[in-house]
Amino acid sequence: MEIKKGIGVSPGVVISTAVVLDAEDLLIPRRQVETADVPAEIKRVEKALAESVADLTRLRKETAAKHGKEIGNIFDFHLGILRDKTTLKQLLTEIQTNQTTAEYAVSVVMRRFAANFLKMSDKYLSERVKDVYDVERRILRNLIGQKHKGLGQLKQDVIVIAHDLLPSQTAALDRAHVRGFATDVGGRTSHTAIVARAMGIPAVVGLGDITSEVSGGDTVIIDGNRGVLIINPDEDQLIEHREFERKLIRLETELAELRDLPAQTLDGHVVSLQANIEFPEEVRDATHRGAQGIGLYRTEFLYLASAQEPTEEDHYNSYVEAIRLLKGRPLVIRTLDLGADKYTQEKAANPERNPFLGDRSIRMCLHDIPMFKRQLRAIMRASVLGDVRIMFPMISTLMELRQAKMVLKDVTEELEDENQPFRQDIPIGIMIEVPSAALMANHFAREVNFFSIGTNDLIQYTLACDRTNEKVAGLFCPAHPAVLALIRDVIRAGVRNSISVSVCGEMAGEALYTLLLLGLGLTIFSMNGPDIPEVKKIIRSTTMAHAKQVARRVMSFDSERQVMHFLREETRKIIPEAF
How many C-beta neighbours within 10 Å does residue 155 have? Answer: 9
CA 274, 254, 247, 573 torsion: positive or negative? positive
The backbone torsions φ and ψ at residue 228, rounded to the nearest 5 degrees and listed phi first, read: -125, 145
The residue among 103 and 433 lying less far from Mg ion, judged by its C-beta, is 433
Q: Does 454 bind ligand PEP (CB under 6 A)?
A: yes
CA–CA distance, 226 with 247 (Å, rounded to integer): 15
Q: Binds 534, which of Mg ion, ligand PEP, none (CB < 5 to 8 A, cut-off by type)?
A: none
Rule CB under 5 A: choose which of 454, 519, 521, 530 binds Mg ion. 454
Residue 294: strand pairing partners? 275, 331
Rule CB under 6 A: choose which of 164, 321, 433, 510 binds ligand PEP. 433
Q: Binding marks (x or -) toward ligand PEP, 254..293, rule CB under 6 A?
A: ----------------------------------------
Q: Which stretch binds ligand PEP (CB under 6 A): 200-208, 219-227, 303-311, 454-462?
A: 454-462
The residue type found at 290 is G
Q: Which stretch binds ligand PEP (CB under 6 A): 249-257, 301-309, 383-391, 451-459?
A: 451-459
Among candidate residues 337, 334, 340, the one with its CA nearest the CA of residue 318: 334
* # binding residues, ligand PEP (CB under 6 A): 11
Q: Does 298 bind ligand PEP (CB under 6 A)?
A: yes
From residue 317, how far is each of 68, 70, 119, 383, 392 by CA, in Å?
13, 11, 32, 12, 20
- DSSP secondary-structure letter at 491? H
Rule CB under 5 A: choose which of 94, 136, 282, 457 binds Mg ion. 457
Q: Binds 455, which of Mg ion, ligand PEP, none (CB < 5 to 8 A, cut-off by type)?
A: ligand PEP
The residue among 4 and 191 lying less far from ligand PEP, judged by its C-beta, is 191
The residue among 12 and 505 lying less far from ligand PEP, judged by its C-beta, is 505
Q: Binds 298, which of Mg ion, ligand PEP, none (CB < 5 to 8 A, cut-off by type)?
A: ligand PEP
Rule CB under 6 A: choose which of 164, 281, 337, 560 binds ligand PEP. 337
CA–CA distance, 504 with 487 (Å, rounded to integer): 12
How many C-beta neighbours within 10 Å does residue 219 have? Answer: 16
The residue among 81 and 362 lying less far from ligand PEP, judged by its C-beta, is 362
Residue 277: strand pairing partners? 297
Question: Contact, 96 vs 200, CB < 8 A?
Answer: no
The residue among 228 and 524 lying less far from ligand PEP, judged by its C-beta, is 524
CB of 573 to ligand PEP, least distance (A): 29
Residues 403-411: contacts with CB under 8 Å, at least 24 apart:
403/366, 404/335, 404/362, 404/365, 404/366, 405/447, 407/366, 407/369, 407/372, 407/373, 407/376, 408/376, 408/380, 410/373, 411/373, 411/376, 411/377, 411/380
Question: Contact, 144 vs 45, CB < 8 A?
Answer: no
Q: Does 486 bind ligand PEP (CB under 6 A)?
A: no
Q: Binds 504, which of ligand PEP, Mg ion, none (CB < 5 to 8 A, cut-off by type)?
A: ligand PEP
CA–CA distance, 123 with 304 (Å, rounded to integer): 11
The residue among 274 and 455 lying less far from ligand PEP, judged by its C-beta, is 455
B/e letters for 233-246, b = 16+ CB within 10 Å, e = fewer, are: beeeeeeebeebbe
Question: Catalytic residue at 477?
Answer: no
Q: Does 456 bind ligand PEP (CB under 6 A)?
A: yes
Q: Binds 332, which of Mg ion, ligand PEP, none (CB < 5 to 8 A, cut-off by type)?
A: none
Q: Does 505 bind ligand PEP (CB under 6 A)?
A: yes
Q: Binding marks (x or -) toward ligand PEP, 192..231, rule CB under 6 A?
A: ----------------------------------------
The residue among 94 and 433 lying less far from ligand PEP, judged by its C-beta, is 433
CA–CA distance, 540 with 547 (Å, rounded to integer): 11
Q: Does 300 bind Mg ion (CB under 5 A)?
A: no
- Helix 76-83 with 85-98: angle, nearest 10 deg: 50
From residue 234, how far is each of 44, 240, 242, 439, 488 by CA, in Å?
48, 10, 12, 51, 45
CB of 331 to ligand PEP, least distance (A): 16
Q: Binds 378, which of Mg ion, ligand PEP, none (CB < 5 to 8 A, cut-off by type)?
A: none
CA–CA distance, 185 with 208 (Å, rounded to integer): 6
Question: Which one of the listed residues 191, 269, 480, 546 is annotated catalytic?
Answer: 191
Catalytic residues: 191, 504
Residues lying near Mg ion in the complex (CB under 5 A) are found at: 433, 454, 457
Residues lying near ligand PEP in the complex (CB under 6 A) are found at: 189, 296, 298, 337, 433, 454-457, 504-505
